[in-house]
Amino acid sequence: MTTFAGVLALLIGLSYAALGLLACYELGRHASSRGFSHIGGAVALMAAATCGPHYLVHAEHLLLRGGSVSGAVVAALAIGVVPGTLFVLLRTEALLGGNGDRFISGTPLLLAVLPWAYAVAAGAIVWSAIGTPDGSSAAVALNVVLFAAYLLIGVLVVRTQVARRPMLGGWSLSGLALGSVFVTCAVTHLTSSLAMVADAHSLVVDAVSVPVALYFLWVVRSLHRNGLRDWNRRPLVGRSERRRRPSPWAA
């Protein structure tokens, strides 16, 4: 169980680290012609400097130091692997010149059921972690802030997808994956702080993550309310290049 949890944490940590490197590359590539992107900077900071190291620290503890790990931690890591890996793969495809997204027409049954299944699983995971608290009060306090910030970011991203659905007739796979990344990350942060013993390394990473998460929340909320101009206003979803405006009579 401990090795499995360590492998999951390693996969997620490497995925987020790769996402941070991709964001840094895109920022450097377009900085001279388009200027600074707040959303790109926020993603780079979150993935490469906070969330990536957060999971990698847990992976190091679990794989090298061993010890017991609760089922709640394993479940929290498990539900975060798919959206994180999927979003990084789509971003890599976009960087290599591909579409970087997939359009889901209509609302398939699996897509309609999945959010409710995730909500039930997340509630059960957090409840289980609360029942067996092993974390320190400092770690729990930091991760409660991270839980609230990441959950709000995920809600804003998914809310945008919901608002676009009637007009588009479907969903953006990349947008849904991004929203799921933040929701599952919020659950994992809170669960690990409750069910795992924190050391100096994890406390430092979580302390640095708090201002980054609040900055990310400010950026996403400002973009959501059209209060911030950003050339990459779709938060790393699909191509970074601007698409041509279609003609009025185009289907």
Question: pLDDT digits over 30-49, tens only?
Answer: 777 888 888 888 888 888 87
Would you give the distance in Å from CA 109 to the centre of its chain? 24
What does the pLDDT read at residue 135?
62
Q: Which of 95, 124, 97 is nearest to 187 (CA)?
A: 124
Report which secondary-structure segment, H or E, holds 100.
none
Instruction: Map out the domains of the chain as residue ranges.
Output: 2-224
Secondary structure of residue 103 in the 3-state scheme: strand
Alpha helices in 96-225 (DSSP H): 109-131, 137-168, 173-195, 200-224
What does the pLDDT read at residue 233?
57
| Segments of the chain with pLDDT less than 70 | 67, 132-135, 231-251
What does the pLDDT read at residue 50?
83
Distance in angstroms (rounded) separating the CA atoms of residues 204 and 194: 17
- Residue-wise pLDDT tens digits, 183-205: 999 999 999 888 887 778 888 88
What does the pLDDT read at residue 243?
45
For the entire predicted model, the pTM comes to: 0.83
Which tokens is 65 given?
């130091």
What does the pLDDT read at residue 241?
40
What does the pLDDT read at residue 26?
80
Q: Which of 216, 251, 243 is nearest to 46 (CA)?
A: 216
Secondary structure of residue 229 in the 3-state scheme: coil
Q: Give every CB contact of residue 16 below 8 A, 6+ residues apart in sequence.
A: 46, 47, 48, 51, 52, 55, 84, 88
What does the pLDDT read at residue 137?
83
- What DSSP state is assigned to residue 171? E
Q: Residue 248 carries which side chain, given as an amino acid letter?
A: P
User: Helices (H) and strands (E) in the chain — how many of each?
Assistant: 8, 2
What does the pLDDT read at residue 120?
92
